[in-house]
Structure 1
C-alpha cells in the first residue's frame, strides 16, 4: 500500500512539474518579448483622412460605391504635402477615376477591395514626388465601404 501511494505521489509530482515546465517554456520562448518569434511590430505612420467618396460603377446596372478613405503616410512631411489643397484635389480626382473604372463584381469581395486600395496607392505615389527617397503613401485604409 505504501508503494502504491509513493508511486502515485511521484506520478503526480512529475506530471505537475512537466505541465508547469511546459507552460513556463511556452511563455518564455513563444511570446514576442521572449525572442523565438522575434516579430517587430511597425508603428503606423501619420494618417490623413482624404474624404468621403460616392461614385457610379462601370458596367451594366446602376451600382454605386460609397467609401471613406484615409492614407497612412510615410512621414510628417508627406502628410503636410498631401494636406495642401492642390495635392488633395489631384488625389481626390485620381481616386474617383479609379473607382469609376471598377464594376460591381470586382468590389463584392475583399480581394477586389484590396486591389482597389493597391491601385490607389500606386497611382498616388506615381503623381506625388518622393519624400526623402520614400514613397509618400504607405497604406490606403478604408474606414467604411458600401456597395449599392
Structure 2
C-alpha cells in the first residue's frame, strides 16, 4: 500500500491597508521580508547537533540564576517555546523594561555561562551560542537588535520532552 505525503496547510494573512500612506505600506512589506529572512526553514528533525543537551541548558539556567540574569532565562525559554526566536518587544515585556532601556549587552550573561561550560569541557568549543542577537542584514552600521535567537538544536531538544 502506498502512502501519500501531505503538505502542511498554508496560512495566509490578509491585512487591509486602505488609507495607509505608501511609506507605511512599504514599512509593512519590509517587516514581512525581514521576518521571512529570520525564519529558518530547516525541519527540526534535520537540525545538526553541536553538543547541546537538555542537561547543559538547565546548567546554563542555573548559572544565569546565580548571576541574577532572570530576564535572559525568560527570553531563552520564550524563544524555545516560539520556534527559536524572541523579538525585541517580547524581551521588554518579559523584563518589565521601559522603552528607554537599551538591550546592549543583553547576551553577555548567556555568553559567559556558555563559555563556562566550554571551559569545563562539558560543551564543545564549536557549539552554537545559547542566545544570539538578530540584526537586519540590510542595515549597515549600528542598529538595535530586532530580537534574539536560540539554536534550533535546543528547540528540538525541548520539543522532544
TM-score, normalised to structure 2's length?
0.27
TM-score, normalised to structure 1's length?
0.28
If asked which structure has higher relative contact order (CA below 8 Å, sep 6+), I would say 2
- Which structure has more strand as a fraction of its residues? 1
